[in-house]
Each structure stands twice: as C-alpha cells, then as structure tokens.
Amino acid sequence: MWTRLDFLVNEAATAALFRGQATAQGLRKLLARLDTEYRIGLPSTFFGYGEDGAPDSQAVITTSFGTTRNGLSITAIGAPACEVLSERSGALNAALMHAAQALIPMHVRSAEHTADFLPFAKRYYIGTLAVGKASPQSFWSQAVDAIKAGSSWMEQAPRKIPQTIARGMFFQARHLCELGDELEGNMSAMLSRSFADGVPWGETKMAFYERLDVQLLSVAGHTYAPLHNRPHRLLLKGVEFTMKAQLEGPWFVGRLKGESQGLLVPSFKAVQALEEAA
C-alpha cells in the first residue's frame, strides 16, 4: 500500500518555508520542526529517526519527502506509514499554510503496490540513484577516478549498479509482505517461499535477482550529496536499465530514499516528463 500527499506551493510560499535553505534536502527537517511547533503528533520513525531523535541508519525507510515542479510531496510506503500520513494530513497541511502564511492546496492519492515478473525485459529510469559514500578507498570513489581518466560507468559498474537496484526491489517487496500488505502480482509468490515454506532468505534473494535480471543501459553522469559543505554520498544521474518486471506504485532503491532518491519510473514516462517540462 502507498499514500502520497502533493502540496501545491508557489515560489513566495517556498521562500517563506525554507528561508533560503535547499528545498529537496530541507523538507524532512522542516516538517520535523513543524511537528514540534504545532504538536502534530508524528512518531520519530516517520522521519527515519530513532527514539533519541537522531537519524537511524538501520531504520527501514517508509516515508519519503521530495519536491515536484509544483511544490512538495510526501510518500508513505506500507499500511502503518500510510495510516499515520492519512491521519495527520490535515494537520500537516494546516501547519505548512500557517508557516508560509499562504494557501497551499493538497491532493491525496493512495493505492496498492503491484509487482509482476515478466518473461521479457522492460526499460526503466532513475533520475538520481544514491549509492556509496565519497570515502577515498571506496569502490565508488575509485570508479569516479577511473571515469575521470576516460572510463565510463558502463565499464566500471555493469554489475554493481544492477545489484543495487535489485537489492532495493527485493527489500521493499519483502518489507511490504512483512507488514501484511497486499502486494499484488506474482512477485509475492516467490517471497512466500521463505515466509510460508521456510526456504532460506539468501536462497530466495538470489532467485529473485536472477528472475528480475536487471541490465544496465546507461548512466548520464554523477554528482555528490553534500554533508557539512563536503561531498558525502555519490549520486548517479539518469540511470537507465531494463528488468523483467512490471511495477505499479512507488518503488525506491539505493540510499537516501527518505529524500525521494532512487524512484523507479518506466523510461517512456521519464521522456514524457522531460518533454512536458521543456
């Protein structure tokens, strides 16, 4: 199950809300502050924080905060997160309007996730895929050095990037099933081998990867997500690939999913969105 709130926010209201800070990275912090100021009653896990109020690196990300061409969005994954978001949607909207001193229309969408394995491949696209940290000895940093010397992502990570995508798909599908969600489609049948029949998860995961068959087509480039004004997390831009699956609903892979990084969309939708924006 998933639920998404879209807030239509104009430029003046955006400036009032974020006070010059980066919008994409600041939405989660803004909402956490408004939650405290207006006593909205959101649990710390809603923001990916632990009980101590600090970011929890081990937490399963079930809420994603992002920006759109017309404003802001919040996406909840799984029935518990969807319930929280739906119950607090009115209070969130009211807090945003009071903080911005502006009218902010809100639209709500909700549906079930669907995931089917296919006997043929379909093309998918990820606008920004967050991967490893920018530490000098990491695989990703060494790959960047090779690319600077004339190599390409197709040469440096033809297996690593597909593994990252397949891993994200597997863990979101597994998490939905663990929550008792109705994951529609034949993908849930494979996961039931471990849930109901006791097949080791390692065996099920490898069978899942093989059936998904992610194949990298292209990577447009890369940049970094900063932390304390220093490069922190490598971001791959414009990742196009194929996999033998048909998806409905939001699916996130890679790191920084709480900031709406790693959202999978069919390639034709990505091209259509670029054409509409032009």
Euclidean distance between CA atoms 162 and 135, whole angstroms: 21
Kindly list the distances between the CA atom of residue 74 and the CA atoms of 59, 63, 120, 151, 259, in Å, as whole numbers in the listed order.
Answer: 18, 7, 33, 38, 9
Which pTM value belongs to this model?
Answer: 0.88
Euclidean distance between CA atoms 196 and 167, whole angstroms: 21
Q: Compute the average pLDDT of residues 248-261.
A: 91
What's the first-to-final CA gap in the chain, in angstroms?
33
Q: Compute the average pLDDT of residues 237-253.
A: 95
Residue 278 scores a pLDDT above 50: no
Which pLDDT belongs to residue 183? 86
Residue pair 136/269 in contact by the 8 Å Cβ criterion: no
Residue pair 231/251 in contact by the 8 Å Cβ criterion: no
Which pLDDT belongs to residue 104? 97
Euclidean distance between CA atoms 48 and 54, whole angstroms: 9
Which pLDDT belongs to residue 60? 74
Residue pair 3/108 in contact by the 8 Å Cβ criterion: yes
Give the type of residue at 193.
R
Residue pair 208/166 in contact by the 8 Å Cβ criterion: yes
Euclidean distance between CA atoms 3 and 71, whole angstroms: 17
Burial call 221-259: b when 16+ CB within 10 Å, e when fewer: ebeebeeeeeebbbbbeebebbbbbebebbbbbbbbbbb
Query: Per residue in 38-72, pLDDT tens?
Result: 999 999 888 876 665 555 556 677 899 998 888 99
Give the type of residue at 53.
G
Distance of CA 274 to the CA centre of its chain: 20
Euclidean distance between CA atoms 80 and 75, whole angstroms: 12
Confidence of residue 94 (pLDDT cuts 50, 70, 90): very high
Burial environment of residue 183 by CB neighbours within 10 A (0 to 12, 13 to 18, 19 or more): buried
Q: What single DSSP character describes residue 51?
A: T
Q: Compute the average pLDDT of residues 198-222.
A: 94
Query: What is the bridge-based pairing of β-strands 230-248 and 215-227?
Result: antiparallel
Which pLDDT belongs to residue 77? 93
Euclidean distance between CA atoms 165 and 173, whole angstroms: 12
**What percent of the chain has a predicted confidence (pLDDT) above 70?**
88
Query: Per residue in 160-177, pLDDT tens?
Result: 999 999 999 999 999 998
Q: Tally Cβ neighbours within 10 Å of residue 105.
A: 12
Which pLDDT belongs to residue 138? 87
